[in-house]
């Protein structure tokens, strides 16, 4: 699935005019990696990198694990994600951060902060899907602090996704191309 999603993600990104020097991903926690057996964001980043024209590199590491975020609101997620990520080494240039789903932007914001602290000049975001709620009220931008203006999120069409890790449909997660 990573190749198919990455193709659509690169198509969405290519219209942004935002050049990336390197592609990285939101690292999965060790516990989730052990249960799942693969890191979906890493797979998407590696599949997207050739189309972006930049190398894929592991630039982030997790230094904490706030636990499941699903039942937390935006403010609680942002608070829980503070200090969870750190640069894996020196970072330079414009970094395109890849993740599977953008919900509140708390994880992406925490990653962007870590990348900027590590030396990135700018951080963009590319995701396969964006979770939306019909109850969502207008408010501040979902991308939060640290993400470059013009960050790209591949659009979804509101169809439910199949959450392969749980083997069931999750109507809260719209997907791309269904």
* Tens of pLDDT, residues 43-62: 999 999 999 999 999 999 98
Phi first, then psi, for residue 144 (nearest 5°) are: 70, -170
**Segment of 19-28, 100-109, 164-173 carrying the highest mean pLDDT:** 19-28
pLDDT band at residue 66 using 50, 70 and 90 as cut-offs: low
CA dihedral 63, 114, 27, 44 (to 10 degrees): 180
CA 171 centroid distance within chain: 19
Note whether 8 and 1 are within 8 A (CB): no
Note whether 83 and 111 are within 8 A (CB): no
- The pLDDT of 123-142, averaged and rounded, is 69
Domain map of the chain by residue range?
A: 2-64+74-174
Its pTM stands at 0.71
Top-confidence residue, 132 or 169 = 132
Name the CATH topology of 2-64+74-174: Rossmann fold (3.40.50)
pLDDT at 30 over 70: yes
Note whether 88 and 59 are within 8 A (CB): yes
């Amino acid at each position: 699935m990573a190749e198919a999603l990455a193709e659509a993600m690169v198509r969405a990104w290519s219209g942004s005019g935002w050049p990336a020097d390197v592609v990285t991903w939101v690292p999965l926690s060790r516990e989730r990696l052990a249960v799942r057996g693969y890191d979906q964001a890493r797979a998407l980043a590696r599949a997207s990198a050739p189309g972006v024209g930049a190398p894929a590199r592991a630039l982030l590491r997790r230094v904490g694990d706030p636990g499941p975020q699903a039942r937390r609101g935006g403010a609680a997620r942002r608070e829980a994600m503070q200090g969870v990520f750190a640069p894996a080494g020196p970072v330079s240039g414009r970094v395109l951060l890849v993740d599977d789903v953008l919900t509140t932007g708390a994880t992406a914001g925490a990653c962007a902060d870590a990348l900027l602290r590590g030396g990135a000049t700018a951080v963009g975001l590319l995701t396969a899907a964006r979770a939306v709620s019909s109850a969502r009220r207008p408010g501040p931008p979902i991308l939060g602090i640290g993400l470059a203006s013009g960050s790209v999120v591949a659009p979804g069409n509101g169809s439910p996704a199949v959450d392969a890790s749980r083997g069931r449909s999750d109507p809260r997660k719209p997907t791309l191309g269904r």
